[in-house]
Amino acid sequence: MRLKKQITLAMALTMALASAYRAYAEMHGAITGSYYNHDDDIDSYNFTFTRLRLKLDVNDFMGENVSLRLRGSTRSVGGNDYNSTIPNNRIDTVKLTINKIFSIIDVQIGRQTMRDIPGARVDGAQLRVNLGKNFGVGTFGGAAPDPYDDSFNRAYSTTGVYGFYRSLLNGLSFGYVTSRFNNAEDLSYFGGSGYATASPELRFYGALRMDHNVDEDSYDLTNLFLSANFRPNRKAKFNFSYNEYRAVKRYQSMEYDLNFELQKTMRLSADFRVTNSARIYGRVDSRTRESDGASAMLLLLGIKQTELFDRFFYHISVRSINYFTADIMQFQTALGVETDDNLTAEVSAIYITNKQQDTPIEMNQWVMGASVDWVSESRLFVSGKIEWSNESYVDVESVYVAKEADEFGSMTYFLMMGYYF
């Protein structure tokens, strides 16, 4: 009942805004409401959430060079909360943009994420100067969203500068950010990203972040990501990526310890269209960690067929995972139908075995699911899913000691509905 009231009120407010600005503004977005319920044999694992999200973009807002952008959500909790630090009300983005001041200056005011420096956010202002058609510089500053609960908190502040070059085929941005907590350095880093097009078939992307180590007054690599996409023809595509990463430390506000060891991941994926409606795909993931040199490996192979008897589709996949101390096998199959009135329905089954290395601990799990998605011509949409899981243990003395049983089940319900405008 509470979710229904929230959706009704939010839709009424959104429609009122749309009517008020329709005369001189271009307005679009979406409003969604969702319900999630998870019932477990162990009461402490029961969760119920309702969430309302609003996405709003208004162009030509009080002038052709002024726009408004809003992303936010509100949540209510019933029963247990899997993370009590998550705020019930969140504003992800709320910013007012004024473009082309003196033809070259753009100003953004409010809560925003920096496009040109990965991970940077500010509750303040950003000023960007476009020095040419494809390049420019910028700076930003103000308070910062609380990194632990996303609230507005004056104890946190952030400043930064950046430069960028962007064209249709190539681009590069790079900058420096300093965040402070109670006027002391909490986190500082260099960060940037870039993309390049070698040919219509081959494209590259990369991102880099190096954080200031306050204790040693040096800079540590905290994230490096490199990716290459190759599509030799319309039937085949390949992707290779390499990633190095470690946890980020906040030197003033963090009250707990983290494992800061470096981990490295390589991934190779391939996708082949064998017919107009069938494709085979595969993936290989390899991961190593710095502390003990241990490695993990994932192998995936799958096939997906669509337009079977015009409207049916199926999906079959197998995963083999050697995750440091566990050997996992996963078998998945799904069958669905797509109708002419934008309705998609699917049933699925997953069987999983999990064997802990060098121990007798072993788990077997069945996961059965059914889902439906529908989008109307009037821009209303509904998405729902039901999932049942049953897990059994060969040895009760398992890593999941809180379960205190050798077999248990769970049921999950999810419903989302909304409206695009």
pLDDT category at 20 given cuts 50, 70, 90 is: very low
Rounded to whole angstroms, how far apart are CA atoms 61 and 102? 18
The answer to whether the beta carbons of residues 324 and 294 sit under 8 Å apart is yes
What ranges do the domains of the chain cover? 261-420
Name the residue among 239, 240, 313 with its Cα closest to residue 275: 313
* pLDDT reported for residue 179: 97
pTM for the predicted model, two decimal places: 0.83
**187: nearest Cα among 197, 201, 177:** 177
Tell me: the pLDDT tens digits for 223-269?
Answer: 999 999 999 999 999 999 999 999 999 999 998 888 888 899 999 99
Per-residue pLDDT at 399 exceeds 60: no
The DSSP bridge partners found for residue 316 are 303, 333
Helix (H) or strand (E) holding 273: strand 263-273
For 284-305, the pLDDT digits (tens) are 999 998 877 888 999 999 999 9
pLDDT in tens, 199-227: 999 999 999 999 999 999 999 999 999 99
> How would residue 45 be classed by pLDDT, with cut points 50, 70 and 90?
low
Tens-place pLDDT, residues 303-344: 999 988 889 999 999 999 998 888 999 999 999 999 988 999
β 263-273/47-59 pair status: unpaired
Q: According to the model, what pLDDT value does residue 86 have?
A: 66
* pLDDT category of residue 81 using cuts at 50, 70 and 90: low
Give the per-residue pLDDT at 2: 47
User: Cβ distance 380 to 417 under 8 Å?
Assistant: yes
Nearest to 385 by CA among 338, 355, 344, 357: 344
Closest CA to 123 of 51, 179, 54: 179
